[in-house]
Every structure is written in structure tokens, then in C-alpha cells.
């Protein structure tokens, strides 16, 4: 039993989630009564975060909102990787941020700040709530050195010219999480490798700067100057924020074989516990097919790519909810446009019901309404079945048997997870942005001029200023307008 209505107690089945480690949907059993800690692997801030990356944000946001709606006090931690993520998973090649600085001639700070802001702004535009904590790897270097020292003292490491390595032979469970065959190097994706490693699966905890070289980001350590490995960063930031063990850790399926396998090895050895994480949740990829999404290919598919085509960023949220997070989802602009149309319809119905009853939902609660409410929350409690929940919301929006008060009561309740901002959507018939004041309209016109002059830096600055004032720019076929965020 949990409080999930605004003013009512509704029975919600216990939440069940898919755990990658156990390869099964399992009940969520919090470590601390009534609380839930979530750690989500965040962006590597050397370039734009694309729409695929946004799927990882949307999935974690959905999880957090469902747990909060079910009454848990959630702490959601998403890190920023601003050092240590190498170009290759096999401990070879340069740090991605260092390589970007060498390529563009910009400073590390310029690069990491720009792309951190782009990530923050874009995840907000697709309706994600702010993480409770958003630690940066470079702010946790001392903790990372400490963890490597702990692992060293327990005999899990060895030092070679290239750095300090985790000796996977000292952790017999190493292959279990991802079901790896460690004799099959092709399968582990670690063929290209640092020559002196004892085993190809061993991974860098601390990379040493070669003699005579100065790096843009490096720190002193007991083993010499260098920088931390990507995996150790996440273990330390997660532990600093949430302690151990941890309730839920999320990330993309690409992280299972290397990054999360390594996070588990070092954390379980350092903290002497198993399992370190109760539930590991991994989302499948956004498949962009012919569309270019990769950062290495120049044209990166980002939230602005949608806006340039007149698509509301929240249409991407609706589109995300149309597929289960464990299914791959095929991206096309047409599919997101169609999701935008469905979202507009849902919003119109919701706003019409809201305004008909003046937001007053007293006297609601017909048997049919409560049945639909129960089905909606049951779908989400069943490993976050968003497509089923969204279908119920869409049924409610146009259901002739329900009165307006019931419809608004349900949709306002559902929107705590759907995240479309229905309570603040502009009134029916007044058009988007009807209450825009002159100052905002002037700023919008200035932005249009900047864009026409291809001064995208100014255009982006104005967009961010408007966002800070609570306005989101929405491009429509009649030109851009704004609406409250």
C-alpha cells in the first residue's frame, strides 16, 4: 500500500524491476525502509550528448518518478565523467576529453563546461528532473586514489609502466555478471590491449603519465603522476553519495561487459560485500539506423535537431515512453513527429478537462476511474511498462464514460510520471505562448535574428536565458514561440 494519488490511498502492487545480474524481474526491496538510492552512469563531456544518450536519462528519470510516486524518498545520483574515459575500452588510446582538447585547441574547462551544460539543458528539455546529486569525477580524485590504495593493500592490483591494474584473477566472480568467456578475447571486445597486462580483462585503476610528458589533466598519486581509470570513478562517486550496498544502478547495455563488470570487481573487493548493487538496470539502445547519431561522424543527432524541424522536445519523451526500456527502439524523425501529434492531442484533452472543472477534482473517484488508475500504476510497477501505462493515459484522455473531473484527476496523477507538464499547459484555444509578455517576445525576435545571421552562440545564449526565466522555445510551422517550462 502506498500513497499514489494526490489525496487518496491507492493500492499499488509491489514494484518489480529487471536485474541484469539475476537475469530476472525481481521485487524491489529497499535497503533502507522507504528510501531508494539510484546511481546512473552519466555523460562523458567531451562532445555533444545525442538522442541515444538522452534515452539513458529518460529511463532513469522514469524509474525515479515511479519510485517517488510509490512513496519512496529517492536519492538520484548521476555523475559527470570529465576525465578517465578512454577512447578504447581496452585501456589503450587517450582520454576522450584530452583528445578533444588536442583536436580543437580549446581548454579542458571550455570543453567540459560546454558539454556539461548541453547535457543539463537537453535532459531538462525532454522533461527529466534534476538529479539530487551530480558529482564530477575530477572533484573525487582523492577518493579514487584511496580506493586504489585499498585494493592494493588487499592484493588485487599490480603496477606496470602504463599504470596500476586490477588483477581480475583475484576476483573469481569476475566473468559471472556479464556471462563472459574470458578465454574468448574477441567476445570480451578487448583484443587491442596494453601489452604488459597479465590478462586482457585486467583494467586500469590509475594510468601513469609517461616520463617527459605533461598532460592537461593529471594528479600526483602514490604511484606517480597520472589520472584515474573511468571505472573506479563511478564506484567512488556512487559510494560517496550513497554508501554501500546500493539499491539500483542504471546504464546502457553497452556498459554490462566492461564498465559495470569492472565497477563490480573493484567495489566488491574494496568493500568486501556481494552484491554491491541490489538491482542492475540496463536500457537497450536507440537505433538510429540511417540517421547519424555518433559523435565521431560530425552531424550529431541532438535535441536541437528535433527543434530545427519544429518538433517539441517533449515529443521525444512521449516517443521514449512508447517502447519498453529493455527493447531497442528505432528512431526516425517521422516517428517522433507522430509522437508529438499524439502528445498534443493528449494535452488538449487534459487541458480541456482541467479547465472544465477549474482544476477541482473533489467528488471524483468512480469505479471505472479507480480501475484505470490501478491499471496505470500496476503497469509501471511491472518493470516500468511505460507503453502500457501510456496507452491507459491515452484511453483516459478520450474516455466518454468518465466525467471531466475523473479524467483530470487521473491525468494529473499520471503526469507525475509521464512528465508532460499538463498542469501548466496553456489554456485551450489560447494557443501556445498566449501569455508571453513583450520582453519575452522581444528576446525571441532577437534570437531569430541571431539564427538568421548564423550566430548560433547568441541564439543559444538567448535560449538559455529564456530557459532560466522559465520559458521553453517551441518551434512551430508558424515560427518559434514559447511556453512555460
| Interface with Zn ion (CB under 5 A) | 41, 234
Phi first, then psi: give them for residue 378, nearest 5 degrees: -65, -40
Of 41 and 141, CB closest to Zn ion: 41
3-state class (DSSP) for residue 80: strand
CA angle 423, 425, 430 (to 5 degrees): 135
Q: Does 79 bind ligand AMP (CB under 6 A)?
A: no
Binding residue (CB under 6 A) for ligand AMP from 5, 43, 84, 433 = 43
C-alpha–C-alpha distance, residues 346 and 179, integer Å? 43
Closest by CA position to 376, among listed 353, 400, 396, 403: 396
Find all residues with CB under 8 Å of 468, minimum gap 6, and list them. Answer: none
Binding residue (CB under 6 A) for ligand AMP from 251, 365, 419, 433 = 251
Q: Does 285 bind ligand AMP (CB under 6 A)?
A: yes
Judged by CB under 6 A, how many residues of this single chain contact ligand AMP? 14
Q: Does 286 bind ligand AMP (CB under 6 A)?
A: yes
DSSP E strand stretches across 108-239: 157-160, 163-166, 203-208, 226-228
CB distance 303 to 472 below 8 Å? no
20 binds, among Zn ion, ligand AMP, none (CB under 5 to 8 A by kind): none
CB distance 32 to 39 below 8 Å? no
Of 41 and 180, CB closest to ligand AMP: 41
CB distance 77 to 115 below 8 Å? no
Least distance in angstroms from the C-beta of 139 to Zn ion: 15
Least distance in angstroms from the C-beta of 385 to ligand AMP: 19
254 binds, among ligand AMP, Zn ion, none (CB under 5 to 8 A by kind): ligand AMP
48 binds, among ligand AMP, Zn ion, none (CB under 5 to 8 A by kind): none
C-alpha–C-alpha distance, residues 151 and 311, integer Å? 50
Least distance in angstroms from the C-beta of 305 to ligand AMP: 14
- H or E element in which residue 349 lies: helix 333-356
Peptide bond into 84 cis (omega under 30): no
Long-range contacts of 127-131 (CB under 8 A, 24+ apart): 127/61, 127/313, 127/314, 127/317, 127/419, 127/420, 127/421, 128/57, 128/58, 128/60, 128/61, 128/419, 129/61, 129/64, 129/65, 129/76, 129/419, 131/40, 131/76, 131/77, 131/78
Least distance in angstroms from the C-beta of 396 to ligand AMP: 29
Q: Does 114 bind ligand AMP (CB under 6 A)?
A: no
Q: Does 55 bind ligand AMP (CB under 6 A)?
A: yes
Find all residues with CB under 8 Å of 448, minimum gap 6, and list them. Answer: 479, 480
234 binds, among Zn ion, ligand AMP, none (CB under 5 to 8 A by kind): Zn ion
C-alpha–C-alpha distance, residues 50 and 302, integer Å? 5
Q: Does 447 bind ligand AMP (CB under 6 A)?
A: no
Least distance in angstroms from the C-beta of 423 to ligand AMP: 30
Residue 277, CA atoms < 13 Å, CB-side half-sphere: 30
Q: Does 127 bind ligand AMP (CB under 6 A)?
A: no
CB atoms within 10 A of CB 245: 17
43 binds, among ligand AMP, Zn ion, none (CB under 5 to 8 A by kind): ligand AMP
44 binds, among Zn ion, ligand AMP, none (CB under 5 to 8 A by kind): ligand AMP
Of 219 and 285, CB closest to ligand AMP: 285
Q: Which strand ranges, in their side-by-side order, compose the sheet holding 73-78?
A: 73-78, 35-40, 246-252, 277-283
Least distance in angstroms from the C-beta of 203 to Zn ion: 13
CB distance 174 to 201 below 8 Å? yes
Binding residue (CB under 6 A) for ligand AMP from 53, 188, 235, 347 = 53
Q: Does 131 bind ligand AMP (CB under 6 A)?
A: no
Of 52 and 200, CB closest to ligand AMP: 52
Beta-strand relationship, 73-78 and 479-484: unpaired
Of 281 and 389, CB closest to ligand AMP: 281
Binding residue (CB under 6 A) for ligand AMP from 12, 15, 17, 41 = 41
Q: Does 322 bind ligand AMP (CB under 6 A)?
A: no
Closest by CA position to 48, among listed 330, 303, 425: 303
Residue 96 carries which DSSP code?
H
Binding residue (CB under 6 A) for ligand AMP from 12, 37, 56, 149 = 56
Binding residue (CB under 6 A) for ligand AMP from 140, 255, 257, 447 = 255
Within residues 178-207, the interface with ligand AMP by CB under 6 A covers none
Binding residue (CB under 6 A) for ligand AMP from 52, 84, 340, 433 = 52
C-alpha–C-alpha distance, residues 54 and 350, integer Å? 26
CA angle 49, 446, 50 (to 5 degrees): 10
Q: Does 84 bind ligand AMP (CB under 6 A)?
A: no
Least distance in angstroms from the C-beta of 293 to ligand AMP: 6
52 binds, among Zn ion, ligand AMP, none (CB under 5 to 8 A by kind): ligand AMP
Within residues 290-309, the interface with ligand AMP by CB under 6 A covers 293
Q: Does 254 bind ligand AMP (CB under 6 A)?
A: yes
Residues lying near ligand AMP in the complex (CB under 6 A) are found at 41, 43-44, 52-53, 55-56, 251-252, 254-255, 285-286, 293
Amino acid at each position: 500500500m502506498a500513497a499514489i494519488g494526490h489525496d487518496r490511498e491507492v493500492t499499488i502492487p509491489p514494484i518489480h524491476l529487471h536485474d541484469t545480474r539475476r537475469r530476472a524481474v525481481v521485487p524491489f526491496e529497499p535497503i533502507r525502509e522507504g528510501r531508494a538510492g539510484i546511481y546512473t552512469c552519466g555523460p562523458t563531456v567531451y562532445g555533444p550528448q545525442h538522442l541515444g544518450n538522452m534515452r539513458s536519462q529518460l529511463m532513469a528519470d522514469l524509474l525515479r518518478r515511479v519510485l517517488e510516486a510509490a512513496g519512496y524518498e529517492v536519492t538520484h545520483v548521476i555523475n559527470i565523467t570529465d576525465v578517465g574515459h578512454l577512447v578504447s575500452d581496452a585501456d589503450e588510446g587517450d582520454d576522450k576529453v584530452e583528445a578533444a582538447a588536442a583536436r580543437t585547441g580549446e581548454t579542458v574547462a571550455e570543453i567540459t563546461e560546454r558539454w556539461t551544460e548541453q547535457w543539463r539543458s537537453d535532459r531538462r528539455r525532454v522533461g527529466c528532473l534534476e538529479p539530487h546529486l551530480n558529482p564530477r569525477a575530477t572533484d573525487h580524485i582523492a577518493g579514487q586514489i584511496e580506493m586504489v590504495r585499498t585494493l592494493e593493500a588487499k592484493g588485487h592490483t599490480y603496477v606496470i609502466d602504463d599504470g596500476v591494474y586490477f588483477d581480475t584473477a583475484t576476483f573469481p566472480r569476475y566473468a559471472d555478471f556479464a556471462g563472459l568467456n574470458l578465454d574468448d578475447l574477441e567476445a570480451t571486445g578487448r583484443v587491442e590491449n596494453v601489452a604488459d597486462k597479465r590478462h586482457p580483462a585486467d583494467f586500469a585503476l590509475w594510468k601513469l603519465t609517461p616520463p617527459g610528458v605533461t598532460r592537461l589533466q593529471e594528479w600526483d598519486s602514490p604511484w606517480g603522476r597520472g589520472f584515474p581509470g573511468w571505472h573506479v570513478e563511478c564506484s567512488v562517486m556512487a559510494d560517496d553519495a550513497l554508501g554501500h550496498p546500493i539499491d539500483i544502478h542504471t546504464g546502457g547495455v553497452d556498459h554490462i561487459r566492461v564498465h559495470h563488470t569492472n565497477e563490480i570487481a573493484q567495489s566488491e573487493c574494496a568493500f568486501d560485500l556481494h552484491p554491491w548493487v541490489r538491482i542492475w538496470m540496463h536500457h537497450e539502445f536507440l537505433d538510429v539506423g540511417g540517421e547519424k547519431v555518433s559523435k565521431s561522424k560530425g552531424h550529431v543527432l541532438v535535441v536541437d535537431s528535433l527543434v530545427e524541424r519544429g518538433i517539441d522536445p517533449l515529443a521525444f519523451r512521449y516517443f521514449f515512453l512508447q517502447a519498453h526500456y529493455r527493447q531497442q527502439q528505432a528512431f526516425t524523425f517521422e516517428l517522433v513527429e507522430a509522437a508529438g501529434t499524439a502528445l498534443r492531442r493528449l494535452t488538449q484533452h487534459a487541458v480541456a478537462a482541467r479547465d472544465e472543472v477549474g482544476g477541482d477534482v473533489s467528488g471524483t473517484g468512480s469505479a471505472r476511474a479507480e480501475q484505470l488508475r490501478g491499471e496505470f500504476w500496476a503497469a509501471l510497477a511491472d518493470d516500468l511498462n511505460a507503453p502500457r501505462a501510456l496507452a491507459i493515459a491515452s484511453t483516459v484522455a478520450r474516455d466518454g464514460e468518465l466525467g471531466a473531473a475523473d479524467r483530470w484527476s487521473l491525468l494529473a496523477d499520471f503526469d507525475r510520471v509521464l512528465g508532460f507538464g499538463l498542469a501548466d499547459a496553456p489554456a485551450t484555444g489560447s494557443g501556445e505562448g498566449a501569455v508571453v509578455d513583450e520582453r519575452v517576445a522581444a528576446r525571441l525576435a532577437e534570437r531569430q535574428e541571431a539564427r538568421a545571421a548564423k550566430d548560433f552562440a547568441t541564439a543559444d545564449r538567448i535560449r538559455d536565458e529564456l530557459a532560466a526565466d522559465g520559458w521553453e522555445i517551441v518551434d512551430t510551422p508558424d515560427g518559434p514561440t514559447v511556453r512555460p517550462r
